[in-house]
Amino acid sequence: MSTAAPSAPHLQWSLVVPVKVLARAKTRMSAAAGPHRRDLALALAADTVAAALRCPRVGDVIVVTDDPLPAAELAALGARVVPDEPDAGLNPALVHGAGRGRELSPDAGVGALSADLPALRANELARVLEAAALAPEAFLPDAAGTGTTLYTVRPGVPFSPAFGAGSRAAHRARGARELLLPATDSVRRDVDTPEDLRAALALGAGPRTTAVAARLRTAAPG
């Protein structure tokens, strides 16, 4: 009898977090964030990585970025940083990071986590990863219901993320198990628009994002 199922909830994970060069990040927030857009993008990533590192199911966080500023700041938090050597788009960058994760921890599962989850709670992420461990390949849809915030594979399973427009449907189509769990809002609440940011703040965003958001409110016209 296989022992995989009983041991699955205790599986450790290496999570890959892709961080864009800040000059190109969060362009849909340009009007609302103005000169603080780069600071906001870095704050989102820092709060996401810090929360992921607090999760007891996460052994490593591998940040893929070619920007030296987030590379330095996220490494200081405890992330392992690798350059985007493929430089061929988001999914190849994630595959590159996953390869590094498997080198570090061959017996761990590998996941790709969005870099803009500022309200992320370590206990909610742990709950999602425990559910993900029961499937060879799984994903969590975003709050909008069309995208993906987390994609995972168990050890030995090919890592084939399909992030981008319509990624929820793309991950479903390739047979990944969709994870629909209660009380995991913080893992689904990514931030691309001012409305998303307000929703994340209502959930309780991390300190970096909260501080930058306060500057946005101060800078906004009355």
**114 annotated binding-site participant:** no
Domain 9-215 has CATH 3.40.190.10: no
Positive or negative, the CA dihedral 198, 202, 205, 211 is: positive
pLDDT in tens, 11-46: 999 999 999 999 999 999 999 999 999 999 999 999
DSSP string across 84-124:
-SS-S-HHHHHHHHHHHHHHH-TTSEEEEE-S--TT--HHH
Q: Which amino acid is at 117?
A: L
**HEC assignment per residue over 46-79:** HHHHHHHHHCCCEEEEEEECCCHHHHHHHHHHCC
Domain boundaries, the chain: 9-215
Q: Is 148 annotated as a binding residue?
A: yes
Q: How many CB atoms lie within 10 A of CB 9?
A: 13
Q: What value does the mean pLDDT take over residues 158-186?
A: 97
Please write the tens of the pLDDT for every residue from 83-128.
Answer: 998 889 999 999 999 999 999 999 999 999 999 999 999 999 999 9
Q: Which residues contact 75 (CB under 8 A, 6 or more apart)?
A: 63, 81
Find out whether 153 and 179 touch, Cβ atoms under 8 Å: no
| Rg of the chain (C-alpha set) | 17
Q: Work out whether strand 109-113 and strand 13-18 pair parallel, antiparallel, or are unpaired.
A: parallel
CA–CA distance, 201 with 198 (Å, rounded to integer): 5
Q: How far apart are CA 44 and CA 12, in angstroms?
A: 24
Averaged pLDDT for residues 146-163:
98
160-172 residue pLDDT tens:
999 999 999 999 9
